[in-house]
Chain A
Amino acid sequence: MAIRTILKQRWKGLLLFLAVAGPGIITSNVDNDAGGIATYSMAGSFYGYSLLWSLLPIMVALIIIQEMSARMGAVTNKGLSDLIREHFGVKVTVYLLIGVVLTNFGNVIAEFAGIASSLGIFHVSKYASVPISALLVWLLVVKGSYRSVEKIFLYACLFYVTYVVSGLLARPDWGEIGRSLVRPHFDLSSGHLGMIIGLVGTTIAPWMQFYLQASVVEKNILAKDYKHSRLDVIIGSFIVTIIAGFIVLTCGATLFKAGVRVETAADAALALKPLAGKYCSALFAFGLLNASLFAASILPLSTAFLVCEGLGWEDGVNKKFSEAPQFYGLYSLLILFGAGVVLLPRIPLFSVMYVSQIINGIVLPVILIFMLILVNNKKLMGRYTNKRGYNIISYVTVAVLGILTIAYIFTLIVH
């Protein structure tokens, strides 16, 4: 009898976990978007294993920051831009939102660049692939069928496992990897600094904080069920880092060794050769396309939501266009211009993806400061304010990113 009750409770606990599981893990999978795959591939192919170490502190920071977002969502039941508006007033909100919209716009462009370059492998012209996928993404959300497609996107994320297998098959030098993790290599060249900022910016993207908090609010997770969400966030962050690590590692073991510097999707696809042989290009193209489409359907939407929430405009995909004109207008413009930029002739697709992630890294500390002020507000968070350790790690992240950014800009000017 006693055992049965315990089992029943366990079962209930598991069910509850599955019910609230999602926001963290989904956010993490969207996080490995076109910009992510491009940046990780470049990091591995340019610098071998020498930047792998940076993923460990990034993971710690990712867990801490995502946990704060989820906690704020569960305790206040409000989105991040909502809280910023109520706490910092309209002026700060508007200028901050302009910055966030521009940053997210960069990411939207990156997603469409990802679509263009993945289908480019199959010799599909970007002048066909980009407009069609833009229309597809737009319809998916406006027609409200996104929820049903989300699961397909999520399953397709299993593609990342191919990096793990390919990495193992490439027989990397584990001794060298171990040494680079224990003895971090760091230099002050602008390429190196930019790459580290890009790695941080793609793994801990500013938009993720808005999106994760909004998802937690939408799922109506209460403060008392919050510990399940925390687990969800931690698992999600682990998944992101392991995948990122294996992309860097695989590219290091294959491309870096062969002296290939990733500049196109075809280059990056070669990393999957140990697993897929001559099919590596097709496999990579499929993975990149899925990642890009997944993020391209979430990013413009989440941006439109956060702006309307902060400025008090009607939002929601179940409203008519005339009821929520700003919401649909912004959403449509982001897709239209995001896709439009990629259609410019001779635009270097991989550089676009990479640069957008560097901008993410530069904007992140600003968002973090706002989050930290809010999460430490007793009136708002009650007994759920940050513990001291959290604050230390967060402020260190802000400081390190700030210093890296200044150093990076300095090296750019000097050159």
Chain B
Amino acid sequence: MKQFVFFSEIHGRAVLDTQGRPIGRLDDLKVRLGELFPKVTSVVLKKDRRPKHWALAWDETEALNEGPIKLKPGAEDRITTLEVGAAELLLRADLLDKQVVDTFDAKIERVNDVHLLIVDHELRLVHIDFGLRGLLRRLGWLKPVDSFTNWLFAYSLPEKLISWKYIQPLAADLKSRLKLNVTMRKLHEIHPSDLADILEELDQAHRSSVFQSLDLETAAETLQEVDPKIQLSLIESTTEERASDILEQMEPDEARDFLAELPEEKKLKLMGNLGQSRREDVEELLRYKEGTAGSIMTKDFIALPRDATISLAVDAFKKVFHPLESVAYIYVTDDAEHLVGVITVRHLVTCDRQETLGGLMNPHVIRVNIEDDIDRVADIFNKYKFLALPIVDTDNIIQGIITLQDIVEDRAKEL
């Protein structure tokens, strides 16, 4: 008794009743999702020259072996028309030849065959075959090719099976969104930039259904990574409420870049739904022309007056959750909020808590004007190896910072 069987090996086998009369052919298998390795619940029959599909519980068949599939006594009376529920999947119709997401390698693959485990009388879906062997098996060329390569090179093509637990099927029927929500959880294990590559490879319908199923944070991070053309189509297939929620999750400078690519009307609508403070931040950033320092700066920075103590600075540092490079420097301002100096985070750790920032600061701050060209900013980063640069307006009042990360992203876009 074999322990594993490929779907292609049992597809098309005759189904016989207890007297050995043919009832039809095995056309498909239905599995119920939810368990780690889903169980085959029904066998789908096709009767000759009749387009309709019939289903029968898998329990109604005798143990699987090489020959035709035999039914238990009286089973033929319990054949019903095929119905597929929300958490069910048809192996042939929904999986075979379709694209699935391989969350292990973070890429899209095409299903060549399905590998089933036989435990007692149960059949369980354990592996998906993406390999050349699966392709050849389906074509009926596997045996000749195997004996040829064995004879000539003493070599067999390797199997390429991936465990079902890493597979994310894409819904067959996109109208039933429910099905997606049940199973899409695995996608969150993929890094957003890989997820963005995957989204770019999918077609429009699958793309938006995958995107809808992501949580807000993942959706926001993924959205920033995809091609602008795809960004637009994704956001258009999202409800405005959700779109604004996603926007809230983005860093203001990222949100600004994203909004700048959108048509005017859509942009205003989305901004209208944003919270007050976030909207003001984004509006300000949008005022700066494309290609200027202001357009890519972020508002996430710490600026304190010169008479503040180190211990105050440490408190300020503890309160914010900005990315590390944004708080690598603490900027020091005078009474009129002019930028007068900078200290590094290292000071917070090494210096006496009672000392004032004014005493410790480095008064020679390299700064960039908000209207300056991004090229100039990049040159400064290249020359001084800073993690972040302060951005000031014409009155020398600090308006934001540009981090190394911001400039890398901006340059990468131009490549």
Instruction: Determine which of A77, A90, A217, A219 lies in contact with B97 in the assembled complex, contact meaning CB atoms within 8 Å.
Output: A90
A-B contact pairs, 28 of them (CB 8 A): A76-B204, A77-B202, A77-B204, A77-B205, A77-B207, A78-B203, A86-B97, A89-B96, A89-B97, A89-B138, A90-B97, A90-B112, A90-B138, A91-B138, A91-B139, A94-B139, A217-B203, A220-B227, A220-B229, A220-B230, A220-B233, A222-B204, A223-B204, A311-B110, A311-B135, A312-B99, A312-B109, A314-B107
The distance in angstroms between the C-alpha atoms of A217 and B227, with both chains bound, is 14
Which of B97, B112, B205, B207 has most A Cβ within 10 Å? B97
Number of A interface residues in the complex (CB < 8 A): 18
- Set of chain A residues within 8 Å of B227, measured between Cβ atoms: 220
Chain A nearest CB: distance from B194 CB in Å?
14
The distance in angstroms between the C-alpha atoms of A277 and B99, with both chains bound, is 58
- Set of chain A residues within 8 Å of B99, measured between Cβ atoms: 312
Chain B nearest CB: distance from A301 CB in Å?
18
Contacts A90-B135, A312-B130 known; A77 to B203 CB distance under 8 Å? yes
The distance in angstroms between the C-alpha atoms of A134 and B355, with both chains bound, is 72
Interface Cβ pair total, 8 Å cutoff: 43
Interface residues in chain A, defined as those with a beta carbon under 8 Å from any beta carbon in chain B: 76-78, 85-86, 89-91, 93-94, 217, 219-220, 222-223, 311-312, 314
Chain B nearest CB: distance from A20 CB in Å?
11
- Set of chain A residues within 8 Å of B278, measured between Cβ atoms: none
Instruction: Determine which of B107, B138, B233 lies in contact with A222 in the assembled complex, contact meaning CB atoms within 8 Å.
Output: B233
The 7 closest A-B pairs by CB, nearest first: A312-B110, A77-B203, A77-B204, A220-B229, A90-B138, A78-B203, A85-B97
Chain A nearest CB: distance from B158 CB in Å?
14
- Set of chain A residues within 8 Å of B96, measured between Cβ atoms: 89
Chain A residue nearest to B207 (CB atoms) is A77
Chain A nearest CB: distance from B167 CB in Å?
14
The distance in angstroms between the C-alpha atoms of A338 and B190, with both chains bound, is 42
Chain A nearest CB: distance from B134 CB in Å?
9
- Set of chain B residues within 8 Å of A90, measured between Cβ atoms: 97, 112, 135, 138-139
The distance in angstroms between the C-alpha atoms of A386 and B381, with both chains bound, is 57
Chain B residue nearest to A85 (CB atoms) is B97
- Set of chain B residues within 8 Å of A222, measured between Cβ atoms: 204, 233
- Set of chain B residues within 8 Å of A94, measured between Cβ atoms: 135, 139
- Set of chain B residues within 8 Å of A78, measured between Cβ atoms: 203
The distance in angstroms between the C-alpha atoms of A4 and B184, with both chains bound, is 48
Additional 4 contacts, C-beta under 8 A, given A90-B135, A93-B97? A85-B110, A86-B97, A90-B97, A91-B138
- Set of chain B residues within 8 Å of A311, measured between Cβ atoms: 110, 135
Chain B residue nearest to A311 (CB atoms) is B135
Q: In chain B between 64 and 108, which residues have their CB closer than 8 angstroms to a CB of chain A? A: 96-99, 107
- Set of chain A residues within 8 Å of B139, measured between Cβ atoms: 90-91, 94
Which of B107, B109, B111, B204 has most A Cβ within 10 Å? B204
The distance in angstroms between the C-alpha atoms of A13 and B110, with both chains bound, is 38
The distance in angstroms between the C-alpha atoms of A78 and B206, with both chains bound, is 11
Chain A residue nearest to B206 (CB atoms) is A77
- Set of chain B residues within 8 Å of A217, measured between Cβ atoms: 203
Q: Mark B222-249, 1 if CB is under 8 A from A, else 0.
A: 0000010110010000000000000000
The distance in angstroms between the C-alpha atoms of A78 and B98, with both chains bound, is 12
- Set of chain A residues within 8 Å of B135, measured between Cβ atoms: 90, 94, 311
The distance in angstroms between the C-alpha atoms of A40 and B347, with both chains bound, is 80
- Set of chain B residues within 8 Å of A312, measured between Cβ atoms: 99, 109-112, 130
Chain B residue nearest to A221 (CB atoms) is B229
Chain A nearest CB: distance from B388 CB in Å?
31
- Set of chain B residues within 8 Å of A86, measured between Cβ atoms: 97-98
- Set of chain B residues within 8 Å of A91, measured between Cβ atoms: 138-139
Chain A nearest CB: distance from B192 CB in Å?
19
B203-A76 in contact (CB<8A)? yes
Chain A residue nearest to B138 (CB atoms) is A90
Q: Mark B195-212, 1 if CB is under 8 A from A, else 0.
A: 000000011110100000
Q: Mark B136-164, 1 if CB is under 8 A from A, else 0.
A: 00110000000000000000000000000
- Set of chain B residues within 8 Å of A77, measured between Cβ atoms: 202-205, 207
The distance in angstroms between the C-alpha atoms of A94 and B132, with both chains bound, is 12
Chain A residue nearest to B202 (CB atoms) is A77
The distance in angstroms between the C-alpha atoms of A220 and B97, with both chains bound, is 23
- Set of chain A residues within 8 Å of B203, measured between Cβ atoms: 76-78, 217
- Set of chain B residues within 8 Å of A76, measured between Cβ atoms: 203-204
The distance in angstroms between the C-alpha atoms of A219 and B97, with both chains bound, is 25
The distance in angstroms between the C-alpha atoms of A89 and B140, with both chains bound, is 13
Chain A nearest CB: distance from B415 CB in Å?
11
The distance in angstroms between the C-alpha atoms of A119 and B110, with both chains bound, is 44
The distance in angstroms between the C-alpha atoms of A220 and B78, with both chains bound, is 48
The distance in angstroms between the C-alpha atoms of A161 and B109, with both chains bound, is 46
Chain A residue nearest to B100 (CB atoms) is A312
- Set of chain A residues within 8 Å of B107, measured between Cβ atoms: 314
Which of A90, A91, A93, A219 has most B Cβ within 10 Å? A90
- Set of chain A residues within 8 Å of B109, measured between Cβ atoms: 312
Chain A nearest CB: distance from B111 CB in Å?
8
Chain A nearest CB: distance from B19 CB in Å?
33
The distance in angstroms between the C-alpha atoms of A222 and B229, with both chains bound, is 10
- Set of chain A residues within 8 Å of B207, measured between Cβ atoms: 77
Chain B nearest CB: distance from A375 CB in Å?
16
Chain A residue nearest to B205 (CB atoms) is A77
Chain A nearest CB: distance from B38 CB in Å?
22
Q: In chain B between 326 and 355, which residues have their CB closer than 8 angstroms to a CB of chain A? A: none
The distance in angstroms between the C-alpha atoms of A77 and B110, with both chains bound, is 16
The distance in angstroms between the C-alpha atoms of A93 and B98, with both chains bound, is 13
Chain B nearest CB: distance from A215 CB in Å?
14
- Set of chain A residues within 8 Å of B111, measured between Cβ atoms: 312
The distance in angstroms between the C-alpha atoms of A76 and B130, with both chains bound, is 23
Chain A nearest CB: distance from B316 CB in Å?
44
- Set of chain A residues within 8 Å of B97, measured between Cβ atoms: 85-86, 89-90, 93
Chain A nearest CB: distance from B251 CB in Å?
26
Which of A94, A222, A312 has most B Cβ within 10 Å? A312
The distance in angstroms between the C-alpha atoms of A76 and B207, with both chains bound, is 11
Chain A residue nearest to B109 (CB atoms) is A312
The distance in angstroms between the C-alpha atoms of A217 and B233, with both chains bound, is 13
The distance in angstroms between the C-alpha atoms of A222 and B207, with both chains bound, is 13
Chain A residue nearest to B236 (CB atoms) is A222
The distance in angstroms between the C-alpha atoms of A223 and B110, with both chains bound, is 25
The distance in angstroms between the C-alpha atoms of A93 and B111, with both chains bound, is 14
The distance in angstroms between the C-alpha atoms of A89 and B110, with both chains bound, is 12
The distance in angstroms between the C-alpha atoms of A311 and B98, with both chains bound, is 11
The distance in angstroms between the C-alpha atoms of A148 and B59, with both chains bound, is 62
Chain A nearest CB: distance from B325 CB in Å?
28
- Set of chain B residues within 8 Å of A85, measured between Cβ atoms: 97, 110
The distance in angstroms between the C-alpha atoms of A187 and B227, with both chains bound, is 55
Chain B nearest CB: distance from A19 CB in Å?
10
Chain B nearest CB: distance from A9 CB in Å?
12
Chain A nearest CB: distance from B313 CB in Å?
46
The distance in angstroms between the C-alpha atoms of A89 and B130, with both chains bound, is 14
- Set of chain A residues within 8 Å of B110, measured between Cβ atoms: 85, 311-312
Chain B residue nearest to A12 (CB atoms) is B263
Chain B residue nearest to A83 (CB atoms) is B203
The distance in angstroms between the C-alpha atoms of A89 and B202, with both chains bound, is 19
The distance in angstroms between the C-alpha atoms of A91 and B11, with both chains bound, is 14
- Set of chain B residues within 8 Å of A220, measured between Cβ atoms: 227, 229-230, 233
Q: Mark B101-132, 1 if CB is under 8 A from A, else 0.
A: 00000010111100000000000000000100
Chain B residue nearest to A88 (CB atoms) is B97
